[in-house]
Amino acid sequence: MQASYLARFFVLYQIFRNPLKYLKKPLYLQPRHFFNFTNNFTNTFIFRGFRILFGLYQTFIISSHIIVFTNVKKSATPPRNVSYTPINMMSFYYWFREGKTKDLGTIYCEIRVDGEKSVPISTKIKLNRKQWNPKEQCFQGKEAAKNQKLMDNHELRFSQIFNQIGFEKPNEPIRPVEILERHRVANGLVRKGKRVPSFIDVFKEFIKDQYLLVKAEKLKKQSVVSRESKFQTIRIYLVQKQLEQIAIDEIDHVFMEDFKFYLKISKYQESTIEKYLFLIKGIVKYAVSKGYTQDRKIESYKVEKAKEKDPVSLTQEEMDKVDALDLSDKHRKTFDIYRFCAETSLSFIDYNTLTEDDIVIDSDETVWIKLGRDKTDTRQRVPLNEKAMSIFKRYGSDIYLLPKLSNTKLNKYIKEIAKKAKINKYLTFHTSRKSFVDHSINELDIPESTIQAMVGWKDSRQLSRYARVKDSTIKKQFLK
């Protein structure tokens, strides 16, 4: 047995004589490797010599500015004009952790590399407190050899990972957390945290819930279709930016500003951009309500209100001019829809979802459209005037026979009609609703409160976005 320790002594002596020769590759040495033997040998002259020599070895290495078994932090500033190559030294520190039963427990380990420590990890070696020597970091008693073999296998696994990292990154420091992470991955021990769903997944679930509300008649289908359309635009952006898997809690101010810029260069109107940004904020709020994330940083993002522009609308004379044109079938249907909504203040969604329950005939045989608006959660009440009634009768006085086209086609065809009629205005289908408000306030002198009830607004603050009081109206009202 003493011959074996003399061989170890000779190896240690060679390292002491020329440490730089042996430190070209990463080492993982610690005192236990040199004096882990029976208690009967601990008091011998050779053992005491080993401890003294190992202490000298540590002192020499530290004085040579080589970080081995020290607590020098990585952030320590080295002397000037001295270049350092990371010399990664790994060691293990063990201790006994008592379990539920007194004096019975498990040996835990801490990996140390250049003074940096890992989190405690279990070696799964269970024993009695008396079977562990904390001072000498070794086992004792009858099962010492068996436990020592288990510990050697434990160290071997981490040593192999340590050497592999050292081979892959020869000039970089090795961190204990990286060793531990590779060990967990290799053994299928990666901790599975609560997965945060992607923005796309949350949006899809949001749409499903919206359709459930439609099924329960709490929401109109066209509202959900509009959001689905916006979802496709957002998805195209995410694909272009390679953000298909972006988590819902990663939607932040930077994302919002970048998406806003994308919409601007794609020539979207400011009012449309505003709707997109509010929709994204709504999706994040939905995710918080579902418990998918607790991150509320997006709540502080302020959506810039679209600058108010002069509302675009058609006058009665302009609409009569278009009505007199010889229009194709698709253009005639388009303008009939446009004119009907311009006379009744219906939005695209409200028009497309009209049912016979929304048509009411009072005691004077006046036909009314009375419906609840999802957008403002208010009632809209408007009687059909002569022009609206003529269009209604043209299609058999049946609400279900009124022509229906997609919003995209309506916007496209109404521009073609304006060009044919030589009307130099940027028209969309929504300008029909603005035409109603403009005509009501400037030509019919209807009070704001009445317009509010007919259009279905909660208040009259939106009036400035739909119409402007013309000079002729002011003159007529003031000088009458």
What is the number of structural domains in the chain? 3
Same domain membership, residue 173 and residue 139: yes
Same domain membership, residue 115 and residue 48: yes
Same domain membership, residue 91 and residue 49: yes
Quick check: is 386 in a domain?
Answer: yes
Cα separations in angstroms, 265 against 228, 258, 269, 273, 478: 22, 11, 10, 11, 45
Same domain membership, residue 181 and residue 101: yes
Residue 205: what residue type?
E
Same domain membership, residue 341 and residue 220: no
Domain end residue (candidates: 271, 300, 329): 300
Quick check: is 192 in a domain?
Answer: no
Q: For residue 464, what is the domain's CATH number?
A: 1.10.443.10
Output the pLDDT for position 27: 44
Quick check: is 154 in a domain?
Answer: yes
Same domain membership, residue 223 and residue 150: no
Domain end residue (candidates: 300, 334, 356): 300
Domain end residue (candidates: 132, 153, 186): 186
Quick check: is 438 in a domain?
Answer: yes
Neighbouring-strand partners of residue 383: 368
Quick check: is 305 in a domain?
Answer: no
Contact present, 442 and 472 (Cβ < 8 Å)? yes
Same domain membership, residue 399 and residue 260: no
Contact present, 207 and 201 (Cβ < 8 Å)? no
Q: How far apart are CA 402 and CA 46, in angstroms?
A: 105
Quick check: is 310 in a domain?
Answer: no
This prediction has a pTM of: 0.47
Output the pLDDT for position 294: 79
Tell me the residue range of the domain where 438 lies.
316-478
Same domain membership, residue 63 and residue 15: yes
Quick check: is 347 in a domain?
Answer: yes
Same domain membership, residue 164 and residue 37: yes
Output the pLDDT for position 209: 92
Output the pLDDT for position 442: 80
Quick check: is 311 in a domain?
Answer: no
Output the pLDDT for position 335: 92
List of the chain residues with pLDDT < 70 = 1-88, 188-194, 306, 308-309, 374-377, 459-480
